[in-house]
Structure 1
Amino acid sequence: MVLTSNDITQRNYKKLSIQVSLSGLSFCVFDTITNKILVHNSVSFKQNEVIDGQLWNAFIDNSILTKAYDEIIVLHENNINTFVPKPLFDINNIASYLQYNVKVFETDFFAFDELNNYEINNVYVPFVNVNNFLLDQFESFDYKNTNTLLVQKILDKSKNIDEKQVFVHLQENHFEIVVVRNQELLLFNSFEYNSPEDFIYYILFTFEQLQLNPETIRISLFGNISKEDSFYKIAYKFIRNCNVLDVSNQSKTHDVTEEDMLHHFILFNS
């Protein structure tokens, strides 16, 4: 639960972040004084089984999820989202922003996140059943779409860098590509893939559409990737200035390995 009392004796200075997708959940506990990650874990869900029951099992198997926390953040991991400039945003027509990008239904519930310091809102469809389950576990919590944090952190990183930069966040079966220039969002898109060849095809297609030169544009890869795997190697083959995102400072701050920092970039930045 989230404690709202200002009595310092009732605070434990710990924050819980939970990232949920249809394939599983990951969570971590922060020490809010040192910003170190005290514990983190991942749970895979079985396909074709009700997600509510698997969430229940995850809470039983990981009793740390039932402890008291000063703050609880729930991250909904899906790509049913789109970014809308604030001057064009009308909450009364929130569903209209998604209807041309993804298949939506009249019964869908729509939400939006504001990106701090940027005139952008992220409109998305959260997992309502997940929220309903968690409302039975916690008194209150804040929830966001994972791509809100992804784009927020990338925009922050691009400050005072005037050339275009490409960031690719690789996950199981899909990846997000974000193009920025000095805190300006130029493109966000998400693609599903089955092979390294699919992966590089969509990246080079994006380069072509935005007229980005693969000989000069810098691309940073992170998520489920390392310099030893086939996805990095095929990207490096076609794009000259290709690298794995440097997370060394963040990994030291949070007291985790660089591999874990890359893999849980969104969760650990929540």
Structure 2
Amino acid sequence: MSTATVTVPPVALHRLRDETLDLENPAAYNLYLSAGPAGLRLGVADVRRNKFVALDEYAAPEADISLAAQLHALGAEQHDLLRLAGWNRVRLAVQNRAFTLLPAPLFRAGDEAAYLRLHHALNPQQETVHSYTHPGLDITSLFAADARLSAWFERQYPTGRLVHQSSALLQGITHQSEQGTARRIYLSIGHQEVTIVALRGKQPEFLNIFPFSTPEDLIYYTILVMQELQLNPDQDLVMVWGDLMHDSELFTILRKYIRNLRFGNRPFDLGYSYRLNDLFEYRYFELYALHLCE
């Protein structure tokens, strides 16, 4: 773990626990973590009941702080969830733009860094490279992660699995999508970035992450992708998840230019504690969707 000094403690935005959560028996649960520039999110799912029974969210204590330092500031060794070993399964989703997708038949183990260098200036001293092959999609994701974060995760959870946040999103969307030939656009809005996915039925056709600093940037990239795919903002459905409110400038500008705009739901076929009822269903989608990542 990095020994970076953080002067401001993390801000707990949510710390929700179902009364049935039994931390004396972690083997009965899966632990899911999502780490990005805006902060950390943790979820716990009851394996037998296929149900989320805990959710924590922490805002980054300082600007431009590394993910490893965020965990250090949170006090991972003392946190009631992070300090535990013996979970049934652990998944950590890394949020960054250092990733690419490859048809699974073309992927060769050992060549991850070579593939990724075509899209990202890899720094071997500060980053490690990982891969994740999507079950049922014939797609392999290649991505970089902070080396200190990777080292902490491997020490803490030797059998855990790192995935890219876009992989959790893609698994969740394909799980939700319907069979057929209709093409749809899906947006996941995070901290100053939007992930845009296009599916035809359940077949991915496009996935990329775009940075934005203004609402105008957001609608520019959304309309650009729709035009490239010959979709009509006045007719075709756009589904939205992520960190925005109904009265936010981001939602206002999306609604202004896209007629058929809808908020997405939580992943289907999973249960959710009543403790999560006060959270908007279109938020934390990628965290929940880690339950669908093998």
Note whether the superposition's TM-score is higher than 0.5: yes
| 8 A contact 2:184–2:238 mirrored in 1 | yes
Query: How much has 1:106 moved relative to structure 2?
Result: 5.2
Q: Aligned letter for 2:70?
A: Q
| 8 A contact 1:223–1:262 mirrored in 2 | yes
Q: Could you say which residue in structure 2 is the equivalent of 1:135?
A: 154
Q: Does 1:257 align with 2:291?
A: no
- Aligned mates of 1:254, 1:51 — CA distance in 2: 28
> Are residues 56 and 204 of structure 1, via their aligned partners in 2, closer, same or farther at CA, if it must alter by over 3 Å?
same
- Aligned mates of 2:283, 2:27 — CA distance in 1: 28
SS at match of 1:67: coil
Q: Could you say which residue in structure 1 is the equivalent of 2:173?
A: 154
Query: How much has 1:165 moved relative to structure 2?
Result: 0.3
Relative contact order (alpha carbons < 8 A, sep ≥ 6): 1 or 2 greater?
Answer: 2
- Aligned mates of 2:158, 2:107 — CA distance in 1: 31
Q: Could you say which residue in structure 2 is the equivalent of 1:56?
A: 72
Query: How much has 1:260 moved relative to structure 2?
Result: 4.5
- Report Cα offsets for 1:89-114 as digits up to 9, x if no partner: 23343334333433224554321101
> Are residues 230 and 66 of structure 1, via their aligned partners in 2, closer, same or farther at CA, if it must alter by over 3 Å?
same
- Aligned mates of 1:244, 1:48 — CA distance in 2: 30
Equivalent residues in 2 for 1:51-90 (5 A)? 51-58=67-74, 59-60=76-77, 62-68=79-85, 69-90=87-108
Q: Aligned letter for 2:80?
A: S
Give the structure with the higher percent helix.
Answer: 1
SS at match of 1:63: coil
Query: How much has 1:23 moved relative to structure 2?
Result: 3.6
- Aligned mates of 2:256, 2:200 — CA distance in 1: 24
Equivalent residues in 2 for 1:147-226 (5 A)? 147-226=166-245
| 8 A contact 2:93–2:162 mirrored in 1 | yes
Listed as ranges, the gaps of 5+ residues in structure 1 are 1-9
Q: Does 1:237 align with 2:253?
A: no
> Are residues 203 and 160 of structure 1, via their aligned partners in 2, closer, same or farther at CA, if it must alter by over 3 Å?
same
For 1:29, which of 23, 28, 44 is the aligned residue?
A: 44
Aligned pair count? Answer: 262
| 8 A contact 1:14–1:31 mirrored in 2 | yes
Identity across the alignment (%): 19
**Where has structure 1 moved over 6 Å in runs of 4 or more?**
none
Query: How much has 1:19 moved relative to structure 2?
Result: 1.2
> Are residues 52 and 122 of structure 1, via their aligned partners in 2, closer, same or farther at CA, if it must alter by over 3 Å?
closer
Query: How much has 1:153 moved relative to structure 2?
Result: 1.7
Root-mean-square deviation (CA, aligned residues, Å) is 2.5
TM-score (norm 2): 0.80
Q: Could you say which residue in structure 2 is the equivalent of 1:109?
A: 128
Query: How much has 1:122 moved relative to structure 2?
Result: 0.6
| 8 A contact 1:248–1:258 mirrored in 2 | no
Q: Aligned letter for 1:78?
A: N
Query: How much has 1:75 moved relative to structure 2?
Result: 1.6
Q: Aligned letter for 2:101?
A: F
| 8 A contact 1:79–1:147 mirrored in 2 | no
Q: Aligned letter for 2:282?
A: L
- Report Cα offsets for 1:34-54 as digits up to 9, x if no partner: 222222112223235565443
TM-score (norm 1): 0.86
